[in-house]
Amino acid sequence: MIRRLYSLVFIRDILNRKVLLGFKKRGFGKFKWNGLGGKVHSDESIIDGARREAKEEACVELENLKYVGYLEFQFEYDMNDIMATHVFCADEYSGEIAETEEIRPQWFDYDKVPFDKMWKDDKFWFHYILSNKLFKGFFLFQSDQETITHYELNEVDKL
């Protein structure tokens, strides 16, 4: 079993109760709304990878990332591979959020998160993002990347 490291970052505007999502224009998860993020490179820490992806995908610089969740994704087309995804939140940023070749970023009200256009697991755990709770989960998808065959999800005290 190979666990590949990924980051997933949600920028929150706590005051206005909005969260930043990115519409993925290409690659894995194309045409879905999701957090920013991607593969962690072998020469960087997970948190540095999260920071780098936020900058590459939406042109934002993040200082204080909070580690909020750990999710494992597995797809039936390759049972040897697990996407070990470390989830972060950021409540401040510098620079100007901008669209890139990979991502079209947009703010969503907490109560208007477009779950029908996101990965199917997101509606299970997104409330943790909005309520500052730590979580761990595992989701097994069928090869269509749409159907969840099995999942486990828990709030945790520490990650």
Q: Which residues bind Na ion (CB under 5 A)?
A: 38
Of the residues 11, 20, 37, 65, which one makes contact with ligand 6U4 according to CB under 6 A: 37
> Hunting for tokens 């999260």 — which residue is that?
50
Stretch that binds ligand 6U4, among 24-32, 93-101, 127-135, 150-158 (CB under 6 A): 24-32
State which residue, 29 or 114, has the beta carbon closest to Na ion. Answer: 29
State which residue, 9 or 93, has the beta carbon closest to ligand 6U4. Answer: 9
Residue window 86-115: x/- pattern of binding to ligand 6U4, with contact defined by CB under 6 A: ------------------------------
Which DSSP string corresponds to the chain?
-EEEEEEEEEEEETTTTEEEEEEE-SSTTTT-EE-B--BPPTTS-HHHHHHHHHHHHH--B-S-EEEEEEEEEEETTEEEEEEEEEEEEES--BS-----SSEEEEEEEGGG--GGGB-TTHHHHHHHHHHT-EEEEEEEE-TTSS-EEEEEEEEES--
Cβ-based neighbour number of residue 21 at 10 Å: 25
Stretch that binds ligand 6U4, among 15-23, 62-70, 92-100, 119-127 (CB under 6 A): 119-127
Closest residue to ligand 6U4, based on beta-carbon distance: 38
State which residue, 6 or 135, has the beta carbon closest to ligand 6U4. Answer: 6
Please say whether the beta carbons of 40 and 49 come within 8 A. Answer: yes
State which residue, 17 or 26, has the beta carbon closest to ligand 6U4. Answer: 26
Q: Catalog residues that contact ligand 6U4 under the rule CB under 6 A.
A: 6-8, 27-29, 34, 37-39, 53, 73, 83, 85, 119, 121-122, 139
